[in-house]
């Protein structure tokens, strides 16, 4: 049974979407300035996943599923088959996942409903397939996990902030993430910190600063050359 969170407080953000507060890291899972806006702008649109004919998304980490639902919503109906693989080492409870999604996008997507239905009985990983989408969550520490290679068309780097959770922002880990991207794949992240840009560049990615989501001046996209 998951749920070390013991029902963390939910937070309504200015775009009307919900997120939650994480006690362990002392941060909100999504942007307090608009969780849905950040998911869409930084991750979905930033990586071009909404227009990809066969998107394969790798997410670090799954959190309360706002990015996953934004991706389901953006790809539903397009006919593009979605493969979504996320890592999460501290899963929230089903109650929290459901609570954050109430009234939100893709709340009724068959893959989301299947995920909620199986979340409590999952073992080391959970994989559901419904409505043209395959969603998989691996419940392990991504810093020591075996990542797919040359696979992701999009990589959402959404760990907590570099100051609170440095292990998913190191040059060594960033190099492993770069290797998980397919040629032409795009890594996106809300952080535009200089050391993150340098680590992505050192990993061989072409790094571009973009205007940020509400509340942030800039965010990053980094492309693995073809
Ligand atoms: C900012 S939140 C992600 C929010 C999420 N993308 C969403 O849409 O709700 C960061 C998440 O990464 C997870 N995380 C942080 N470090 C991790 C690690 N080393 N391995 C696996 N998950 C990790 C945290 O537990 C947390 O759920």
Domain locations in the chain as residue ranges: 10-223
Q: Give the residues surrounding ligand 1 with Cβ less than 6 Å away.
A: 29-30, 39, 59, 61-67, 87-90, 141-143, 158-160, 165, 167-168
> What digits encode the pLDDT tens for the residues 41-96?
999 999 999 999 999 999 999 999 999 999 999 999 888 999 999 999 999 999 99
Distance between CA 26 and CA 73 in Å, rounded?
29
Separation of CA 50 and ligand 1 centre (Å): 22
Q: Does domain 10-223 have CATH number 3.40.50.300?
A: no
Query: Residues in the chain with pLDDT < 50?
Result: 1
Residue 165 in tokens: 């959770």
- State in Å, rounded, how far the first CA of the chain is from the last one: 43
Q: What is the pLDDT of residue 1?
A: 43
Q: Counting atoms of ligand 1 from 1, which one is nearest the CA of 66? A: 8
Choose the residue to mutate in 89, 100, 156 for probing ligand 1, maximizing ligand atoms within 8 Å of C-beta: 89
Q: Specify the pLDDT at position 121.
A: 85
Long-range own/partner contacts, residues 199-203 (CB < 8 A, 24 or more apart): 199/169, 199/170, 199/171, 199/174, 199/175, 200/174, 202/171, 202/174, 202/175, 203/171, 203/174, 203/175, 203/177, 203/178
Q: What's the pLDDT at 77?
A: 80
What are the distances in angstroms from CA 187 to CA 28, 97, 193, 206?
22, 25, 15, 10
pTM reported for the whole predicted model: 0.96
Phi and psi at 215, nearest 5°, equal 90, -5
CA of 105 to the centre of ligand 1 (A): 20
């Amino acid at each position: 049974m998951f749920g070390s969170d013991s029902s963390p407080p939910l937070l309504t953000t200015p775009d009307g979407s919900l997120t939650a507060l994480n006690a362990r890291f002392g941060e909100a899972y999504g942007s307090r300035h608009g969780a849905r806006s950040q998911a869409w702008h930084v991750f979905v649109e930033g990586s071009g996943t909404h227009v990809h004919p066969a998107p394969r998304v790798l997410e670090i980490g799954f959190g309360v599923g706002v990015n996953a639902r934004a991706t389901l919503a953006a790809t539903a109906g397009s006919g593009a088959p979605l493969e979504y693989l996320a890592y999460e080492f501290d899963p929230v409870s089903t109650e929290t996942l459901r609570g954050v999604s109430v009234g939100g996008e893709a709340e009724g997507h068959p893959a989301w409903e299947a995920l909620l239905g199986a979340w409590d009985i999952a073992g080391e990983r959970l994989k559901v397939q419904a409505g043209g989408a395959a969603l998989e969550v691996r419940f392990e520490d991504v810093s020591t996990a075996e990542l797919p290679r040359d696979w992701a068309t999009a990589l959402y780097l959404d760990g907590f902030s570099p100051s609170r959770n440095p292990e998913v922002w190191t040059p060594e880990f960033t190099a492993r993430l770069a290797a998980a991207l397919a040629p032409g794949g795009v890594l996106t992240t809300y952080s535009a910190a200089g050391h993150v840009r340098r680590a992505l560049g050192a990993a061989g990615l072409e790094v571009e600063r973009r205007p940020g989501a509400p509340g942030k001046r800039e965010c990053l996209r980094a492309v693995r050359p073809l």
